[in-house]
């Protein structure tokens, strides 16, 4: 039996991923180990071939089974198209969908016509399903439903036309997590997209150790040391319950392998939740320090760090720590169920700077209950965390609009409000609407607040203006006269971005900065200062233009009018909503209960409309 596992294209017009398809690789490795040797990877998201080449590849290879990995629900549109294509050109090929997108199981099965969905950790499920399919034969043959019900981690449409959920597989042992074969990437993908220059992450460019002579030519690789998270944020979908840690000795062994095989000297630990075990941290810092590797970490909870730990991390080679701060309002943090205080966020930000580590601040705006008061709290919070920085904070902050993803309490709340329909066909309309978008794409997200959408969009711009104005007020020596800034901006438009970056980080020897990225941006957190070109930032946020904060709403109206991905009917609806607001004021306290969205949904959860919906309740609120 020939099996092909493929990634799905995410944000086709956006930044290309450098995160290896670890989920797909783990599935392939499980299948090969179980004896399914004719299993391969088609890395669509990494290779980005034109769609006609995708079709040609499947026609040429003619797999018996195709597994589609969808790491996020914004890939739904592409996945639906691919399923339809596969059924047309390879009618006997079985199509399986896994990854976070499988939280939409009923839509994928009924509307997109996938044959099966894998939920949760798929290594065991895919092997059992492959064994079943190998016996069954082509997809035109009938299913053995009792046999399918015996496979944990599966959803399918049963003999009664009801979507069945078979429960979750037991967790894999910690020493089997992410034990991956890089031969898969070398054979079936372009490994140079994943073993890259360290300057992709700007934190390395801020640390003088990155430019030490013995690191010249060293590459960066991505590793994961944990699976799961200790928190349950209400906007975040996850399959894993609790958290598991890869044994430190295995992590060190994998680093040494990458160092030897690919000349890696920089590591990005892209965990969902790094560093929540002090015991693990202490052992890790002790054992990574002798390797002389420079590294960064993501997904750190602010309540798990202190100044001593951060200093020890830097001494062991860390250059950059990224936190999940999300908001400067305690009310919003409670709604998100972050299980931390604003003071935790403030302490972590200041301690990180004091320890000599780079960080940036990613905010999530527009949770239920967000209002001008909570935005002012976030502004005050960001002012406090950025005013001591040596450079303007536009490269260290990002504003992301809340996106309601299936399998989260926020998504279920949207259905209660009527923002998303409850039938598979109605839910699909929403998934198609948000496909190929990101949190920074503020024109298409749902509005959970009591305020018109154009006002919600303006909060993003107002935060930028207020935080930048505060920094320049505290550092007047860094602000040039207005006409000088205008002249330099015009001249700077013609200066290569790479040269601007080198100047900004103080690299005077061009040989040291030859491989720096073309845009000064930490791509993990969308810190592109809201699509403002670097040469325009000093002018745009000049204190002389502080009055422009009063026109932030108008700016959003004009911007959305000319955005190609915003339907004009959607734009007109938002304009009418804004005019109605000016006549009658905001809706009154639609969400006045500042507690966890999960607790709110336990009280509001409506009765299931169908037996299928009842069966899928475990998928609705995540784990």
Q: What are phi and psi of 318, to 5 degrees?
A: -75, 140
Tens digits of per-residue pLDDT, 576-607?
999 999 998 777 666 777 888 898 888 888 89
How far is Cα 577 from Cα 450, in angstroms, rounded to an integer?
A: 11
Q: Residue 375 — very low, low, confident or very high, per pLDDT cuts 50/70/90?
A: very high
Confidence at residue 532, expressed as pLDDT on a 0 to 100 scale = 44
How far is Cα 205 from Cα 196, in angstroms, rounded to an integer?
A: 14
DSSP string, 556-611: HHHHHHT-TTS-HHHHHHHHHHHHHHHHH-S---TT---S-HHHHHHHHPPPPSSH
9, with CB counted inside 10 A (0-12, 13-18, 19+), is: buried
Residues 6+ apart with CB under 8 A from 60: none
Q: Residue 514 — very low, low, confident or very high, per pLDDT cuts 50/70/90?
A: very low
Q: Residue 147 — very low, low, confident or very high, per pLDDT cuts 50/70/90?
A: very high
Confidence at residue 500, expressed as pLDDT on a 0 to 100 scale = 55
User: How many angstroms separate the first and last alpha carbons of the chain?
Assistant: 34
Confidence at residue 495, expressed as pLDDT on a 0 to 100 scale = 60
Confidence at residue 518, expressed as pLDDT on a 0 to 100 scale = 37
Give me the residue spans of the domains in the chain: 3-173, 195-359
The stretch 239-266 carries a mean pLDDT of: 94
Residues 6+ apart with CB under 8 A from 49: 57
Q: Residue 344 — very low, low, confident or very high, per pLDDT cuts 50/70/90?
A: very high
Residue 268 has pLDDT above 70, yes or no: yes
Confidence at residue 123, expressed as pLDDT on a 0 to 100 scale = 95
Contact 26, 8 (CB under 8 A): no
Beta-sheet pairing, 243-245 with 163-165 = unpaired
Tens digits of per-residue pLDDT, 63-105?
999 999 998 888 999 999 999 999 999 999 999 999 999 999 9
Residue 196 has pLDDT above 50, yes or no: yes
Confidence at residue 365, expressed as pLDDT on a 0 to 100 scale = 95
Tens digits of per-residue pLDDT, 40-49?
999 999 999 9
The stretch 136-152 carries a mean pLDDT of: 85
Residue recorded with tokens 């169908």: 610
Residue 510 has pLDDT above 60, yes or no: no
The stretch 185-196 carries a mean pLDDT of: 93
Tens digits of per-residue pLDDT, 2-57?
999 999 988 655 566 788 999 999 999 999 999 999 999 999 999 999 999 999 99
User: If you ran DSSP here, which 8-state letter would residue 196 be given?
Assistant: B
Confidence at residue 143, expressed as pLDDT on a 0 to 100 scale = 84
Integer-rounded Cα radius of gyration of the chain: 25
How far is Cα 369 from Cα 448, in angstroms, rounded to an integer?
A: 7
Q: Closest by alpha carbon to 25, among 172, 185, 175? A: 185
CATH architecture group of domain 195-359: Alpha-Beta Barrel (3.20)
Residue 503 has pLDDT above 70, yes or no: no
Residue 412 has pLDDT above 80, yes or no: yes
Q: Residue 623 — very low, low, confident or very high, per pLDDT cuts 50/70/90?
A: low
Confidence at residue 421, expressed as pLDDT on a 0 to 100 scale = 93
How far is Cα 5 from Cα 68, in angstroms, rounded to an integer?
A: 6
> Considering the chain, what percentage of its residues have pLDDT values greater than 70?
90
Q: Is the pTM of this model over 0.75?
A: yes
To 10 degrees, the CA torsion angle through 519, 520, 526, 532? -80
Who has greater pLDDT, 397 or 491? 397
Confidence at residue 33, expressed as pLDDT on a 0 to 100 scale = 94
Answer CATH for 3-173 from 3.40.50.1000, 3.40.47.10, 3.40.50.280, 3.20.20.120? 3.40.50.280
How far is Cα 577 from Cα 579, in angstroms, rounded to an integer?
A: 6
Please give the mean pLDDT across all residues of the chain: 88
The stretch 309-335 carries a mean pLDDT of: 97
How far is Cα 59 from Cα 53, in angstroms, rounded to an integer?
A: 10
């Amino acid at each position: 039996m020939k099996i092909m596992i493929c990634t799905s294209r995410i944000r086709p017009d956006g930044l290309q991923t450098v995160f290896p398809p670890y989920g797909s690789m783990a599935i392939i490795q499980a299948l090969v180990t179980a004896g399914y040797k004719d299993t391969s990877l088609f890395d669509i998201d990494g290779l980005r071939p034109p769609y006609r080449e995708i079709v040609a590849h499947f026609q040429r290879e003619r797999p018996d089974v195709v597994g589609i990995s969808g790491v996020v629900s914004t890939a739904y549109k592409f996945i639906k198209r691919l399923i339809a294509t596969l059924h047309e050109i390879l009618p006997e090929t079985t199509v399986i969908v896994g990854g976070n997108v499988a939280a939409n199981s009923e839509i994928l099965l009924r509307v997109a016509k996938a044959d099966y969905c894998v939920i949760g950790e798929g290594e065991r499920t895919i092997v059992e399903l492959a064994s079943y399919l190998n016996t069954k034969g082509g997809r035109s043959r009938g299913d053995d439903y009792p046999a399918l019900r015996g496979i944990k981690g599966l959803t399918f449409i049963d003999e009664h036309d009801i979507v069945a959920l078979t429960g979750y597989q037991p967790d894999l042992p910690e020493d089997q997590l992410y034990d991956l074969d890089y031969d898969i990437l070398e054979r079936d993908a372009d490994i140079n997209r994943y073993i890259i220059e360290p300057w992709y992450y700007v934190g390395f460019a801020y640390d003088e150790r990155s430019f030490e002579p013995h690191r010249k030519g060293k590459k960066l690789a991505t590793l994961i040391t944990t699976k799961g998270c200790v928190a349950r944020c209400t906007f975040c979908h996850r399959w894993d319950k609790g958290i598991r840690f890869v044994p430190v000795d295995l992590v060190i062994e994998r680093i040494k392998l990458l160092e030897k095989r690919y000349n890696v000297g920089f590591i990005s630990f892209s965990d969902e939740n790094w560093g929540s075990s002090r015991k693990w941290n202490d052992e890790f810092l002790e054992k990574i320090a002798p390797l002389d590797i420079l590294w960064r970490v993501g997904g750190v909870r602010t309540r798990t760090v202190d100044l001593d730990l951060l200093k020890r991390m830097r001494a062991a080679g860390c250059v950059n720590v990224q936190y999940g701060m999300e908001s400067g309002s305690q009310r919003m943090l409670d709604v998100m169920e972050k299980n931390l205080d604003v003071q935790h966020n403030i302490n972590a930000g200041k301690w990180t700077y004091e320890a000599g580590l780079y960080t940036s601040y990613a905010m999530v705006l527009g949770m239920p209950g967000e209002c001008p008061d909570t935005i002012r709290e976030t502004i005050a919070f960001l002012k406090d965390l950025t005013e001591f920085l040596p450079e303007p904070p536009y490269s260290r902050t990002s504003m992301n609009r809340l996106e309601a993803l299936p399998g989260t309490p926020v998504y279920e709340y949207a259905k209660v409000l009527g923002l998303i329909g409850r039938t598979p066909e109605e839910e699909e309309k929403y998934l198609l609407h948000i496909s190929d978008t990101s949190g920074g794409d503020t024109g298409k997200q749902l509005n959970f607040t009591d305020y018109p959408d154009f006002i919600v969009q303006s909060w993003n711009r107002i935060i930028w203006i207020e935080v930048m104005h505060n920094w320049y007020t505290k550092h007047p020596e860094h602000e040039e006269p207005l006409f000088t800034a205008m002249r330099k901006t015009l001249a700077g438009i013609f200066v290569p971005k790479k040269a601007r970056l080198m100047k900004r980080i103080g690299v005077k020897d061009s040989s040291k900065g030859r491989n720096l990225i073309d845009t000064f941006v930490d791509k993990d957190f969308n810190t592109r200062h809201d699509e403002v070109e670097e040469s325009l930032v000093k002018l745009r946020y000049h204190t002389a233009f502080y009055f422009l904060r009063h026109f932030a709403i108008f700016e959003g109206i004009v911007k959305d009018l000319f955005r190609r991905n915003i339907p004009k009917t959607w734009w007109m609806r938002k304009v009418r909503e804004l005019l109605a607001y000016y006549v009658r004021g905001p809706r009154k306290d639609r969400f006045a209960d500042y507690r966890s969205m999960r607790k709110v949904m336990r009280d509001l959860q409506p009765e299931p409309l169908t037996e299928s919906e009842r069966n899928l309740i475990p998928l609705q609120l995540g784990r």
